[in-house]
Chains A and B, each alone.
Chain A
Amino acid sequence: MVTLAKKSPEQRLNICRKYYLAGFLFLPFLWLINAIWFYKQAFRVEPYPEQTQIRKYVIRSAIGTVIWLIIIIAWNITFQLLRTKIGPIGDFLTFVIPRGYY
């Protein structure tokens, strides 16, 4: 288990940056983890020089997570409502075809 307390501030900044950048590859969970894990480092710990950078990354990760959440929820609702109403596309997009029901 990686304990942030044992790492030096540069290493902490490094990890945070890596998570932030990797999240742009359509990986919103990385942003979520980033925001939660580094929240304490960004806002609750005594200030140290790298903290401003970490704070920036944490805030942006949080915003990214919220945007993804909205997209995913919207798509989920749309798909569930329109699956049977848009013709064959609905069936081709369905991963597990329901048995016995339309």
Chain B
Amino acid sequence: MHSSLFCISVFCLTFFIVFTQSTRVADQMYVSFDRARYCVRHLNGTHEIGCQSSMRGNSGRMYMIDNENEFNSYLKDSKTIDSSNSFIIALNIELFNSEYVDKLMNRLDSKLNGLVIYLKSNLSRPKDFSHDDQCPNHRQSYYLNQTETVHWNPKGTGLFFRSFPFPIVLLDEKDDYERLDKFYRQFYNTQSSPTCGLEVKAFQSAAHTSKTCMRRNEISHSLLDAVDGFCDPVGGLNIYSKLPDSLTLVPKQRQPKSVVLILATTDSFQMFLKAQGTTGGAQQPATALITFLALAHVIGQEQKEFNKQDKEIIFVTLDGDALDYSASFRFLFDINNDYFPAGDKNEQRIKIEHIHSIVEFQSLSFSNNLSLYAYPSSPSIINETFIATLLENNPMITRMKANSPLPPASSQIFQRETSSSSFPTYILTSTNENQLLNHYYHSFFDDPSTLSINISSLEYNTTTEFSQWIKSIVEPLAQTLLDSYVGNNITNVTIEQEIINNLVYCVLKNVNCPLIHNVSNQSIGNSFDAFEQTSLPFSINTYPTATTPTFPFVQNILSYFLRDREYDKQNITETKCLEQKNNDTLRLYRYVGGYAPSIMPEQNYSGYCVRSYLRYASSSSPAFSIDNYDLSQTTYPAWTESRWTTFTLRLFIIPTRTHEIVTLVIGILLLSISFIVFSILRWYVKLDLLQPSSS
């Protein structure tokens, strides 16, 4: 009897399992939004900025505010506000600025448990969306003692640099907005019906300041050696390259004022991050970076001429300047500590007195007006002939008058730390009347559509107006450099349009492009396969560097463009190429497939040994490398980024009060009934089933 009962129950159970569609109850309760952007926490020496949720997530009743009228009526609606003790407000992206957020925080105080910002569609994106300060990097600008601040970013809300006790999420996908709206409208009728609730989980590990957090990183009382950090210092790599023949070796002395630095940055930041999403940065720094790389190619093309003169033109990329110019401080710190150029001691170090001038590309936007800032303006330092030649070669450039305030640019730190008495800096940027032309400065909206590029139809070799515009900037600038440094024999320096088209495609659409495979060796080329169909990311990099493709991309392309082109003609095999590095420790040798538009048409090999010069150094702020440096000092910036694990955003239904009470009562009833039934069974029924079977 016992065994047959057992068989029957097993059969019933299997029947139910196999023939019903089993789903988890949790899946039916929640609607997840997986493609949202989240605000994270950053710390500097004295403050924390960004957003934080509790470890289990912040949840609250959802309330959607679509326009200013609804906003004002919500603030006055005491009945709704009192009906729940935590709210998560879904706010239209047009209302996301400091005025509305402050009003909301004041009215709701601790009831505000989170903000979800929604974008209705990509076509209706706001005209300005920047959460950097109105004067970016004002904490470390050269004009620290100036009384008037210039508002380079007039529509900047400054919200990135504020600290919020709740998480802020942004939904930028159209169908996410439609789902959110559909559920909200379905359940928002009267006070008594069930309402939507939202739960946001965006827990950040770091707190207080960089000083506290870095100290806590080191403390570990655990017996297992798992030191799980709280935050990471901001920093990446500063990369530099030049023509391989322009080396100054010990014991030859370097001449003063013989080094020209060409600068561009490789980082940006956004307030809202997405795991696999675009990072913005098209106008700054992508445009500047593309111009920088194209200029490097022209210099590499004309290296025969440039090698005749004695100036070294060094191309430098800085990573980390978006937050208080950390990379520029580090670069100057390296110069002062005999660490520039890094590497082999046989190469003479460069000091401040060796710098002849700096040319910087910063915040370039696709417009027909370029501004040239030349600083300092005293005639003994500035080279007026150089400027005159440049303006003559490129009529798009307007020179800003002397002593006009400098836009946010790395050069500010170069001037500041050297008391601006040694060398001139020339900044090429897109500004208009002391305002940047970039409406999406340091925001994820800064994408190729702002450059009039239709990214979906962009191919590897599409000639866009944008790439033609880049060509029209690079050629006159290279011409000017040639005229100024080499002489006047060469006219009409050109660069193939194809090269710029390829650069635009690789940087803005798909970093896993033929160009990068052609200029790097096999293993590095293969590492780019993981980044298929992603653009080059421009965001805050932390040290130790995560797997970002930005650095190998810049390293390989920059060094290849500036390579020794004579060396190409020597048909060297791969094994011999790899052996070369044993003889020559100053230059880099690698065996690559070769990038066709860059190679002389007469050569026709299946592979090339490339001789180039490449160095890189960590770009994290000197605050993190100096021993016993107190991170709360403001001498050097000390930015760190918090660690986090998962981000989730979920929607669920909050039932009415009656529903909740009924559920509770039924539960209690079931519990008591089960106790009663079991005690009845115990007293009145003989429980043979529980005795060991004696049959």
Contact = CB atoms under 8 A, between A and B. Distances in A.
Interface string A74-94: 000000000000001001101
B215 interface: yes
A63 to B, nearest CB: 34
A2 interface: no
B219 interface: yes
A102 B212 contact: yes
B215 A91 contact: yes
Given A99-B55, A100-B52, A102-B212, A91 B219 contact: yes
Interface string B26-55: 000000000000000000000000001001
A92 B218 CA distance: 10
B215 A101 contact: no
A94 B230 CA distance: 15
A95 B207 contact: no
Interface residues of A, number: 12
A25 interface: no
Interface in B596-635: none
A98 B212 CA distance: 12
Contacts of B55: 99-100
B24 interface: no
Contacts of B129: none
Nearest to A97: B216
Contacts of B52: 100
Contact of B212 (A91, A95, A100): A91
A92 B219 contact: yes
Nearest to B207: A102
A99 B219 contact: no
A102 B230 CA distance: 12
B123 to A, nearest CB: 38
Interface residues of B, number: 14
A100 B219 contact: no
B203 A100 contact: yes
A101 to B, nearest CB: 5
Contacts of A91: 212, 215-216, 219
Interface of A is mostly: loop
A102 B208 contact: yes
B205 interface: yes
A35 B227 CA distance: 43
Contacts of A98: 207
B318 to A, nearest CB: 31
A91 B217 CA distance: 11
Nearest to B644: A100
Nearest to A88: B215
A65 B253 CA distance: 79
A100 to B, nearest CB: 6
Nearest to A96: B221
Contacts of A97: 216, 219, 230
Nearest to B220: A97
Nearest to A98: B207
Contacts of A95: 221
A27 to B, nearest CB: 23
A95 B220 CA distance: 8
B206 interface: yes
A11 B279 CA distance: 78
A98 to B, nearest CB: 8
Interface string B193-227: 00000000001111110001001100101000000
A91 B203 CA distance: 21
Contacts of A92: 219
A100 B215 contact: no
Nearest to B208: A102
Contacts of B207: 98-102
Nearest to A102: B208
B47 to A, nearest CB: 12
Contacts of B206: 100
A99 B205 contact: yes
A100 B221 contact: no
Q: Which among A94, A100, A102 has the highest number of chain B CB atoms within 10 Å?
A: A100
B205 A100 contact: yes
A95 B215 CA distance: 14
A59 to B, nearest CB: 39
Nearest to B206: A100
Q: Which among B55, B216, B230 has the highest number of chain A CB atoms within 10 Å?
A: B216
Nearest to A101: B207
A88 B205 CA distance: 18
Contacts of B203: 99-100
A99 B215 contact: no
Nearest to A95: B221
A32 B203 CA distance: 42
Q: Which among A92, A95, A97 has the highest number of chain B CB atoms within 10 Å?
A: A97
Contacts of B208: 102
9 contacts: A91-B212, A97-B219, A97-B230, A98-B207, A99-B55, A99-B207, A99-B230, A100-B204, A100-B207
Given A99-B207, A101-B207, 12 more contacts: A88-B215, A91-B212, A91-B215, A91-B216, A94-B219, A96-B221, A99-B230, A100-B55, A100-B203, A100-B205, A100-B206, A100-B207
Interface of A: 88, 91-92, 94-102
Interface of B: 52, 55, 203-208, 212, 215-216, 219, 221, 230
